[in-house]
């Protein structure tokens, strides 16, 4: 994961920030799994709390007017958060791995969608179209 300064964050699109949140989620769960396997439950607890915080932030960022996918993601984020809470209480690595698998699948799909986005700026296209209209008078 790249080092994030405030300046770097402000230069990211909301879609890129979401991708970074997915990275942080996966990293936190991976660290929790490793810590749990070592018996370092305090560190695992901190990492699982961070993962749940990221899931909450992902949920808050959903745009429900975008369609049913937002509602489905919200339900999935809630499921993942509940599984991490249970995994934390039970020290259950398999539950953590389940959440990690889901997070990887979502992140992969998200990153593929980002690659397919048009590279041109929509605002620039609108401005160019407007300028062309003005010149025609």
- What pTM, to 2 d.p., does this model score? 0.79
Q: Answer yes or no: is pLDDT of 38 > 80.
A: yes
What is the per-residue pLDDT for 123? Answer: 55
The fraction of the chain above a pLDDT of 70, given in percent, is 79
What is the per-residue pLDDT for 79? Answer: 98
What is the per-residue pLDDT for 66? Answer: 79
Could you tell me the end-to-end alpha-carbon distance of the chain, in angstroms, rounded to an integer?
51
| Selected residue with higher pLDDT from 75 and 131 | 75
Hey, what domains does the chain have and what are their CATH numbers? Answer: 12-135 (1.20.120.340)
Mean pLDDT computed over 70-91: 97
Question: In angstroms, what CA-CA distances link 79 with 23, 41, 45, 53?
Answer: 18, 22, 18, 14
Mean pLDDT computed over 36-46: 98
pLDDT in tens, 98-118: 999 999 999 999 999 888 876
| Selected residue with higher pLDDT from 65 and 87 | 87
**Containing H/E element for 7?**
helix 6-11
């Amino acid at each position: 994961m790249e080092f994030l300064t405030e300046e770097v964050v402000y230069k990211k699109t909301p879609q890129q920030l979401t991708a970074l949140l997915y990275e942080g989620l996966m990293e936190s769960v991976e660290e929790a799994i490793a810590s749990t396997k070592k018996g370092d439950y305090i560190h695992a607890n901190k990492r699982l709390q961070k993962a749940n915080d990221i899931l909450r932030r992902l949920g808050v960022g959903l745009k429900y007017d975008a369609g049913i996918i937002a509602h489905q993601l919200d339900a999935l984020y809630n499921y993942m958060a509940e599984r991490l809470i249970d995994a934390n209480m039970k020290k259950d690595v398999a539950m953590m791995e389940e959440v990690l698998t889901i997070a990887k699948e979502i992140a992969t799909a998200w990153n593929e969608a980002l690659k397919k986005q048009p590279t041109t700026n929509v605002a620039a296209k609108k401005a160019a179209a407007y300028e062309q209209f003005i010149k025609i008078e």
